[in-house]
Amino acid sequence: MVEDLYSKASALPYYRPVAGECALFEKAAEEGLPLLLKGPTGCGKSRLVEHMAARLGRPLVTVSCHDETSAADLTGRWLVRGGETQWQDGPVTRAVREGAILYMDEFAEARSDVIVVIHPLTDHRRTLYIERHDEVVKAAPGFLLVVSFNPGYQRGLKELKPSTRQRFVALAMGPPEPAVEIEILEGETGTDAATARRLVALGAKLREVEPLGLAEMPSTRLLVSAARLMLAGVAPRAACNAAIVEALTDDVEIADGLRDLVALAF
Amino acid sequence: MDLDWEEGIFRGLLSLGRRFAPVKPLAPPHAALLADHQAALTTFARLIAAEPVRVLPAREAGGVRGPDLLLPPTLALAADPAANRELYRLRTAVSAAARRLSRLSPPELLPGAQELASLRIAHAAVGWLCDELPRFSEAWKVACRLELEARPAPTSLRGRARLVEEARQDALEGGRPWEDAALILALRRSYFRQGPPSSGVLLLGEWFPELEEAAADTGTAPDAGSPEVTSEAEAPAVENLHRVEVDRQELEDAVLMHHFEKTETLDEYRGGARDMDGSDNLDEQLEALREVDLGALVRDGTQTHAALRADLSLDLDIPDAAGEESASRGIPYDEWDVRRRRYRPGWCTVYPIHERVTGGKGGDWAREALARHRRLHRELRLRLERYRAGLRLIPRQLDGDDVDIEALVEYQAASLAGHGDDPRLYVKSHRRRRDFATTVLLDVSLSTDSWNEGRRVLDVAREAVLLLGEVAHELGDRLQVLAFASHTRNRCHVFHLKDFREPWPLARGRLGTLEPQGYTRIGPAIRYATDCLAREPAERRLLLLVSDGKPSDYDRYEGRYGIADVRQALREAERREIHAHALAVDAVARDTLPPMFGPGAWHVLPHPDAMTEALTSVYGRLTSR
């Protein structure tokens, strides 16, 4: 479903730049260039956007795309009220009118009719054509389109067409280096350095698991959740089990094997 | 030399004795059994070793042999099962770490004092683990104390065994006996005067040289002609393997020693050669074989008709060795006897084998094949997407993309008349989606080892299945991949390459490790696949058979009989609303596929390159209907 997070964040959400992505984001915003963030789940794509929106002082509209999201969900629709029909703007239309940062998460999931609507927003035209309302909306100054997708997962179904891809400035994100990841855990959760170091070492071991055939690598997000649970008073092993092991697999035997590793780390 | 009656009496007594004697010494109640934890420990070992190693039961203390980690079948050092399970964890960690380190730099061996080299390798592994895993060193100290309490006092042993035992206990206490040059010398000197060996260290395990080195082929070339194995039995895993050279000259003028030599030569080979005697059938020899030590490997050129199959895993990737289920897991299936026009109840036994191999050689094959077919892959996916495309408008919804004019008009009229407040006034567009489940049944019998236009039939078939699997995975379809081969009605094997709920990447490597084997008993394979499919909840079910289309097995499963059984199996499938379709490359299939599958449910391809495209197209057509 369309999730319309309309936030004028006041406090700056925590973000630790890994490879100058904040600076690049800022320049892209200045130039009005649409931005494509790609990376595995939980590597901080959404957090980067939230952080930058707060830093640039712009409102943020977030839309999570899925394969049933239609153009009408985004641009707007006619509603029947009493005896008459009324037009209601969708989240994309509102963002374009107000000059907000529009963040479309999991963009590759979107249906082709959605992508067609987005195209004119990404080039020099910077306009949104709303067919149903017969209206052309010119993007207000400050409007910035940011989309994200996860190239690893279910490849193929969620690939972007080259004609779409080439409209974006792309920024690849991945799991951070151990030293940086330790810093992120400390900064995000306020955990102590020793716990952060152990969690990051555990995460590094689990990321070597190609032979196990897990669908996804454990992300920084999982490590953050584990650290949070520990700070909240959950025993370390139970925290790792809930936040990491059970999040990665439903297979009882693989989970047992992962717990063996946790038992030697915590 | 007629000894039949003596042998008969002996056998009778032996089986009588077996009935009263306990078959195996039972593990104490506080012990942890490897069989209960093998799968979890395999996962754990792979995490530590960072490669797909295997955990296998050993006969004694076990150790590391290439990518195989041999663990003792039971551990009972600690007082309760949970603590013993913890010891398994530590032991697995040490073995897996030793394997990991050995890949970085091959460990130095100490000929004549290999026990010390094993201790040194394990010590390095322990050191690495202490650095990597914060909780390890503390748990390790406790475990070492438990092992030390359980070990025999060195004073109770004599000679070399005593030296080894002292060194082992020293190592468990943190010493470094392998640095003691005098000890190495003493061990080497006493190498050929071995007393009874002391049992290995349960926590450290031994280090065995890679099997490939031990079994390097320098032996005689095998006799011409391929031997037909007629009987086969399973043997326990062996830790250490050493090659024995047979003196051909001695074989020429062999002297018969006594009649129990069959067992003796097998048990421990100490030189000398004899002629073979007795019948070449395994069932009669099985009694003796149960007690045989399989540590010695002899290469010989002579043909045999009976084989004791020991899982030596010279080739890690043979599916047979990867995950054979125990005999009790066989599923009986009826077979159709066309002459008597009735079923033979429980005639065939199907053994489902769940593959555990996940990467390695097979993964490389899959990557290479996918890279080669990148364009075809893309094209097939687009084609399949087109088959599925199309949005469907659903009227009268609570919310939707557009106003449903018809509903609105009715609504207006109804509310003007003073009744009716149906709020469903919108149309919604929905992607059309069918709920189907598909099983691909792949023939891997020896006939697929034949070549067609310069390509092996099996390679053609598995490439086609690989691409179909890729595309189906990308579209989020539910697919199961089974392979089958038979060795008479009693041993029909079905390999689960991918189950409905398994992630596709696991199956890629498994497809790559398939090797031709056995015969083509299609009937029981179809019946088994039908059962799997029928259990899967779906609106439509589809069974795709990729085969040479010729039923055959060496217990007269062929010709009219075979075709009739397959047809019957397909009728059973149809009754359970499963649609079947067959594809074959071989022109022979033109005679057999139509009578089995009926009109329109089969394809014989003019040349092998057409297979990949045809399989995916058939799939696309059948799933978009």
Last residue of a domain, one of A172, A189, A220: A172
Q: Which residues of B touch A205 (CB under 8 A)?
A: 47-48, 132
Shortest CA distance to B538 belongs to which of B617, B625, B478? B478
Locate B368 and state its tokens.
């290479």
Query: Which DSSP helix (H) or strand (E) runs through B299?
Result: none
DSSP, collapsed to helix, strand or coil, labels residue B520 as strand
Identity of the highest mean pLDDT range in B107-116, B179-188, B189-198 = B179-188
Locate B571 and state its tokens.
């009728």
Identity of the highest mean pLDDT range in A10-19, B108-117, B148-157, B535-544 = B535-544
Q: Give the orientation angle of helix B159-172 with respect to helix B114-132, to 10 degrees.
A: 10
Cβ <8 Å between A77 and B402? yes
Question: SS3 string of chain A?
Answer: CCCCEEECCCCCCCCCCCCCHHHHHHHHHHHCCCEEEECCCCCCHHHHHHHHHHHHCCCEEEEECCCCCCHHHHHEEEEEECCEEEEEECHHHHHHHHCCEEEEECHHHCCHHHHHHHHHHHCCCCEEEECCCCEEEECCCCCEEEEEECCCCCCCCCCCCHHHHCCCEEEECCCCCHHHHHHHHHHHHCCCHHHHHHHHHHHHHHCCCHHHCCCCCCCHHHHHHHHHHHHCCCCHHHHHHHHHHHHHCCCHHHHHHHHHHHHHHC
Q: B424 to chain A, minimum CA–CA distance in Å? A: 10
> Which amino acid, one-letter code, is at B483?
A
Rounded CA separation B61/B202 (Å): 5
ipTM: 0.77
pLDDT in tens, A101-118: 999 998 888 887 888 899
Rounded CA separation A209/A217 (Å): 8
Pairing of strands B478-487, B491-498: antiparallel
Q: Which residues of A touch B52 (CB under 8 A)?
A: 211
pLDDT of residue B319: 33
- Which residue does chain B place closest to A207, by CA atoms? B47
Residue pair B433/B501 in contact by the 8 Å Cβ criterion: no
Rounded CA separation A33/A54 (Å): 18
Tell me, yes or no, whether A105 and A52 share the same domain: yes
Locate B154 and state its tokens.
């060195």
Backbone angles phi, psi at B320, to 5 degrees: -50, -45
Tell me, yes or no, whether A19 and A114 share the same domain: yes
Backbone angles phi, psi at B90, to 5 degrees: -65, -45
Of A80, A111, A259, the CB nearest to B408: A80
- Chain A residues near any Cβ of chain B (below 8 Å): 67-68, 70-73, 77-78, 80, 83, 85, 111, 132, 154-157, 198, 201, 205-206, 208-215, 253-254, 256-261, 263-266
Q: Which residues of B touch A80 (CB under 8 A)?
A: 403, 408, 411, 425
Distances in whole angstroms, Cα of residue B577 to Cα of each of A257, B530, B570, B620: 40, 10, 10, 19
pLDDT in tens, B38-83: 888 988 998 888 887 888 888 777 888 888 898 988 888 888 889 9
**B221 has pLDDT over 50:** no
DSSP, collapsed to helix, strand or coil, labels residue B131 as helix
Tell me, yes or no, whether A182 and A257 share the same domain: yes
Q: What is the band of B225 on the pLDDT scale with cuts at 50, 70, 90?
A: very low
DSSP state, B57?
Answer: E
Tell me, yes or no, whether A151 and A89 share the same domain: yes
β-bridge partners, B452:
B455
Residue B144: partners with Cβ closer than 8 Å, 6 or more residues away: B172, B173, B203
Q: What is the band of B413 on the pLDDT scale with cuts at 50, 70, 90?
A: confident
Cβ <8 Å between A211 and B44? no
Locate A14 and state its tokens.
């925590």
pLDDT of residue B265: 46
Q: Which residues of A touch B44 (CB under 8 A)?
A: 256-258, 260-261
Rounded CA separation B619/B170 (Å): 65
Query: Which DSSP helix (H) or strand (E) runs through B588?
Result: none
Rounded CA separation B463/B373 (Å): 9
Rounded CA separation A241/A238 (Å): 5
Neighbours of B602 (CB within 10 A): 22
> Which amino acid, one-letter code, is at B372?
R
Last residue of a domain, one of A145, A172, A199: A172
Tell me, yes or no, whether A90 and A162 share the same domain: yes
Tell me, yes or no, whether A160 and A182 share the same domain: no
Residue pair B223/B302 in contact by the 8 Å Cβ criterion: yes
Shortest CA distance to A72 belongs to which of B433, B390, B427? B427
**Counted domains in chain A:** 2
- Which residue does chain A place closest to B43, by CA atoms? A257
Q: Give the orientation angle of helix B559-575 with respect to helix B589-597, to 10 degrees.
A: 40
Task: Kindly report which listed range (B169-173, B239-243, B292-296) carries the lowest average pLDDT score.
Answer: B239-243
Neighbours of A202 (CB within 10 A): 24
DSSP, collapsed to helix, strand or coil, labels residue B396 as strand
Cβ <8 Å between A80 and B505? no
Rounded CA separation B161/B151 (Å): 13
pLDDT of residue B397: 85
Tell me, yes or no, whether A124 and A24 share the same domain: yes
Task: Kindly report which listed range (B25-39, B321-335, B492-506) carries the lowest average pLDDT score.
Answer: B321-335
pLDDT in tens, B125-182: 999 999 988 889 999 999 999 888 888 888 888 778 888 888 888 888 888 888 888 8
Locate B279 and state its tokens.
């019948």
Shortest CA distance to B484 belongs to which of B556, B566, B363, B606? B566
* Total CB pairs under 8 A between chain A and B: 115
Shortest CA distance to B361 belongs to which of B569, B513, B506? B513
Q: Which residues of A touch B411 (CB under 8 A)?
A: 80
Tell me, yes or no, whether A91 and A223 share the same domain: no
Place of tokens 């934890």: B37
Q: What is the pLDDT along chain A (266 residues), one digit of tens a residue?
A: 344 444 444 578 899 998 889 999 999 999 999 999 988 888 899 999 999 999 999 999 999 988 778 888 899 988 888 778 889 999 999 999 999 999 999 888 888 788 889 999 998 999 999 988 889 999 999 999 999 988 765 444 456 778 888 899 999 998 889 999 999 999 999 999 999 999 999 998 888 766 565 667 788 999 999 999 999 999 999 999 999 999 988 878 888 989 999 999 88
Report the b/e string of B559-574 with b at 16+ CB within 10 A.
eebbbbbbbbbbebbe
Residues in chain A: 266
Rounded CA separation B527/B7 (Å): 43
Q: B389 to chain A, minimum CA–CA distance in Å? A: 11
Cβ <8 Å between A264 and B139? yes
Q: What is the band of B262 on the pLDDT scale with cuts at 50, 70, 90?
A: very low
Distances in whole angstroms, Cα of residue B383 to Cα of each of A126, B113, B380: 34, 65, 5
Greater model confidence, B348 or B429: B348
Tell me, yes or no, whether A185 and A138 share the same domain: no
Cβ <8 Å between A70 and B51? no
Query: Which DSSP helix (H) or strand (E) runs through B607?
Result: none
CATH code for the domain in which residue A38 is found: 3.40.50.300
> Which amino acid, one-letter code, is at B137?
S
DSSP state, B196?
Answer: S
Cβ <8 Å between B48 and A261? yes
Cβ <8 Å between B44 and A111? no
Tell me, yes or no, whether A199 and A255 share the same domain: yes
Backbone angles phi, psi at A186, to 5 degrees: -65, -45
DSSP B452-494: ETTEEHHHHHHHHHHHHHHHHHHTT-EEEEEEEEEETTTEEEE
Could you tell me the residue range of the domain that residue A240 belongs to? 178-265
β-bridge partners, A105:
A64
pLDDT in tens, B452-502: 888 888 888 989 999 999 988 888 889 999 999 998 888 899 999 999 888
- Which residue does chain A place closest to B505, by CA atoms? A213
DSSP B400-444: -SEE-HHHHHHHHHHHHTT-------EEEEEE----EEEEEEEE-
Of B381, B402, B506, the CB nearest to A213: B506
pLDDT of residue A225: 95
Residue A180: partners with Cβ closer than 8 Å, 6 or more residues away: A16, A18
Last residue of a domain, one of A172, A195, A227: A172
β-bridge partners, B367:
none
DSSP state, B303?
Answer: -
Cβ <8 Å between B402 and A253? no
- Tell me the domains of chain B and their CATH numbers: 32-211 (no CATH), 241-313 (no CATH), 361-385+434-624 (3.40.50.410), 391-431 (no CATH)
Q: Which residues of A touch B470 (CB under 8 A)?
A: 156
pLDDT of residue A93: 95
Q: What angle do CA B339, B340, B343 make, to 5 degrees?
A: 110
Q: What is the band of B220 on the pLDDT scale with cuts at 50, 70, 90?
A: very low
Rounded (10°) CA dihedral A146, A151, A155, A156:
40
Exposure of B181 in the CB half-sphere (CA atoms within 13 A): 0
Rounded CA separation B121/B99 (Å): 9
Q: A154 to chain B, minimum CA–CA distance in Å? A: 6
Q: What is the band of B390 on the pLDDT scale with cuts at 50, 70, 90?
A: low
Tell me, yes or no, whether A92 and A58 share the same domain: yes
DSSP, collapsed to helix, strand or coil, labels residue B495 as strand
Mean pLDDT value across residues B384-389: 74
pLDDT of residue A121: 93
DSSP, collapsed to helix, strand or coil, labels residue B222 as coil
Q: What is the band of B389 on the pLDDT scale with cuts at 50, 70, 90?
A: low
pLDDT in tens, B5-16: 787 888 888 777
β-bridge partners, B498:
B481
DSSP state, B392?
Answer: E
Distances in whole angstroms, Cα of residue A181 to Cα of each of A44, A52, B30, B48, B374: 11, 20, 43, 21, 36
DSSP state, B188?
Answer: H
pLDDT of residue B616: 85
Interface mutation vs chain A, best among B44, B86, B95, B356, most A CBs within 10 Å:
B44
Tell me, yes or no, whether A256 and A201 share the same domain: yes
Neighbours of A165 (CB within 10 A): 14
Tell me which long-range contacts B165-169 makes (C-beta under 8 A, separation of at least 24): B165/B198, B167/B115, B167/B116, B167/B119, B168/B115, B168/B119, B168/B198, B168/B201, B168/B204
